[in-house]
A = this chain, B = another copy of it.
Amino acid sequence: MIRVNENYLKLRASYLFSDIARRVADYAAKNPDKEIIRLGIGDVTCPLPPACISAFHKAVGEMGSKETFRGYGPEQGYEFLREAIARSDFQARGVRIEPDEIFVSDGAKCDTGNFQELFSREIAVAVPDPVYPVYVDTNVMAGRSGENCGNRYRGLIYLECTEENGFVPDVPKERADLIYLCFPNNPTGATAAKQKLAEWVRYAHENRSLILFDAAYESFIRDDGLAHSIFEIEGASEVAVEFRSFSKTAGFTGTRCAFTVIPKKCNAFTESGEPVPLRELWLRRQTTKFNGVSYPVQRAAEAVYSEEGRRQVRELGDYYLKNARLIKERLGGIGFPCFGGENAPYIWVKGGKDSWAFFDELLERAGVVCTPGAGFGSCGEGYIRLSAFNTHENVERALDRIEKAFK
């Protein structure tokens, strides 16, 4: 009999976005004349930078001619892209990362989701709360948790991110073998000081743990004192893997390109303590289960590192950050404590009440859609997430309405 992986049955159905959609549809049905402004989603709205479009077209053209056509590419990504990444994202900042420590993929969701496959089922996993649900669900699927109770799975270690700790979790008292961290953070928009990251690196060395560092929002950092990469922290290259993406950086959410950085020095261990280089394990995983990213997409991503690409991407980030600043200032001005939104496209707003009640109120009174914080975990209760991914015009109008309704 073909037996199912019963760990899948432990998964709590994710009703978050369908619940939101249902409430928005109800509201729209009752208020057919009212326009709704969506500040809930974490998806970009501006088109791809012109430099990417032009490189994309050129590469599509190559695929149409016998002389320049490309079939299977290297599973870990073309060297031209891995070299551009190593040079611009790391070496230019004084971080020693080589092209063969970079693995190009079709998304940070896939990479953060698949990476846990490399590890034993017996390891202790620590996840932030609130959290990007992929970290949790993929470990539940792999059998690393017990049943779901309330908003949490038994057997996982939840790292609480609260106003008290600035939404940057402290190292736990217990032993965690695999630790997920994300800065700038989704959903809170928080950033972690270098000193705080150094504490985590020290913890990982002491416990022979591994940090999976999700830096998908790195390109929104404007504060010079913040680390763009975990590898700026001394000793990190032995105990951390970093995930990056072109999704939010350059508007690739529908184009699909990302990458994972695994330093050669980074090991996992056999039961008897023998080190096994993670880079080789991931290479084996990718060559077995993945066939590389579309060639024209890799050329489009490469263009992000050209002179004009760099300028356009910077402008793109600035555009969304202007929205974030505006949201933070004006909501703060009417008395809502706001966090994040300075080096991140998300603003974490303390509503002073139940997340869903605040969601409903914002929709009813202002016609604005947000994401209830409780959807990201227990510690999200009392908060909502607003996203800066929209036009200036829509953000201004949403804020006008919110001010009018709540002032």
Q: Which residues of chain A have a CB within 8 Å of any CB of chain B?
A: 1-6, 8-9, 11, 43-48, 50, 53, 56-57, 60-61, 63-66, 69-73, 106-107, 109-110, 113-114, 117-123, 133-134, 137-138, 141, 177-178, 207-210, 251, 253-256, 268-271, 273, 276, 281, 284-285, 288-297
Q: Please give, as numbers and ranges, the residues of chain B lying within 8 Å of A69 by CB-CB distance.
A: 45-48, 251, 254
Nearest chain-B residue to A266 (Cβ)? B2
Q: A9-B270, A46-B66, A294-B294 are in contact. List 5 more A-B contacts (CB 8 A).
A: A3-B271, A4-B118, A43-B71, A53-B60, A71-B254
- Residues A268 and B4 in contact, CB atoms below 8 Å apart: yes
User: Are A120 and B6 interface neighbours, CB within 8 A?
Assistant: yes
| Residue from the set A3, A48, A122 with the largest chain B CB neighbour count within 10 Å | A3
Interface-central residue, A47, A123, A253, A254, by most chain B CB under 10 Å: A254
The answer to whether B4 touches A269 (Cβ under 8 A) is yes
The 29 listed contacts between A and B (C-beta, < 8 Å) are A1-B207, A1-B209, A2-B119, A2-B177, A2-B210, A2-B268, A3-B119, A4-B268, A4-B269, A5-B117, A5-B119, A43-B71, A45-B66, A45-B69, A46-B66, A57-B60, A69-B251, A72-B254, A73-B254, A106-B291, A106-B293, A107-B291, A110-B290, A114-B289, A134-B288, A141-B285, A255-B296, A256-B291, A296-B296
- Given A4-B120, A120-B6, A269-B4, is A72 in contact with B43 using a C-beta cutoff of 8 Å? yes
Chain B residues contacting A123 (CB-CB under 8 Å) are: 2-3
Q: A56-B296, A57-B57, A294-B256 are in contact. Are A270 and B71 (CB under 8 A)?
A: no
When chains A and B are docked, how far (Å) is the Cα of A69 from the Cα of B56?
Answer: 14
A76 to chain B, nearest CB (A): 14
Shortest distance between the CB of A400 and any CB in chain B (Å): 22
* Option from B141, B285, B289 in Cβ contact (under 8 Å) with A288: B141
On chain B, the residues within 8 Å of A70 by CB distance are 254
In the complex, are the beta carbons of A63 and B255 less than 8 A apart? Answer: yes
Q: Given the complex, which residues of B lie within 8 Å of A290, measured CB to CB?
A: 107, 109-110, 113
